[in-house]
Amino acid sequence: MSVKALAFALLCGCSANDDVPAPQVSAVTPDASPPGTIVTVSGAYFCQRPDTGSDDDPDCAVAGTVDFGNVPGTTSDWTDTAIMVEVPSGITGSVEVDVTAQGRTSNGVGFTVQ
């Protein structure tokens, strides 16, 4: 971070990820499955780091949570644009899936637990 950017951040009270949008979920694939199934949550800004312009999509240094309603799923792979997560048990029916990374929560996307 440049001295000018650091000074601005200190003066305005900005945090390190203020220039990065909150996580954004675009889809859950498949959009319906039973507990125990691994699904893919697609979207953007899951790593909460600035875009470097690189075409690669490395794993995030710090991951967060993927919630099916209020029940967290178990993640197995987490990149800036895709998360592999196991559908948790103990829930059925329609729920919203959202991602929380570094304290910031995404929009919810509909999902059906069969």
pLDDT tens per residue across span 14-54: 445 568 999 999 999 999 999 999 999 999 999 998 767 66
Q: Which residue has the tokens 């003066």?
A: 11
- Return the percentage of the chain with pLDDT > 70, whole number: 76
Peptide bond into 50 cis (omega under 30): no
**Residue-wise DSSP of the chain:** --HHHHHHHHHHT--TTTTSPPPEEEEEESSEE-TT-EEEEEEE-SS-----S-S--PBPSS--EEEETTEEPEEEEEBSSEEEEEPPSS--EEEEEEEEETTEE---EEEEE-
pLDDT at 10 over 60: no
pTM assigned to the model: 0.80
Domains in the chain, CATH or no CATH each: 20-113 (2.60.40.10)
pLDDT of residue 32: 98
Q: Which residue has the tokens 């000074």?
A: 7
Instruction: Quickly state the pLDDT bin for 56 (edges 50, 70, 90).
Output: low
| Average pLDDT, rounded, for the chain | 85
Mean pLDDT of the 1-16 span: 44
Residue, of 100 and 19, whose pLDDT is higher: 100
Instruction: Quickly state the pLDDT bin for 98 (edges 50, 70, 90).
Output: very high
pLDDT of residue 11: 41
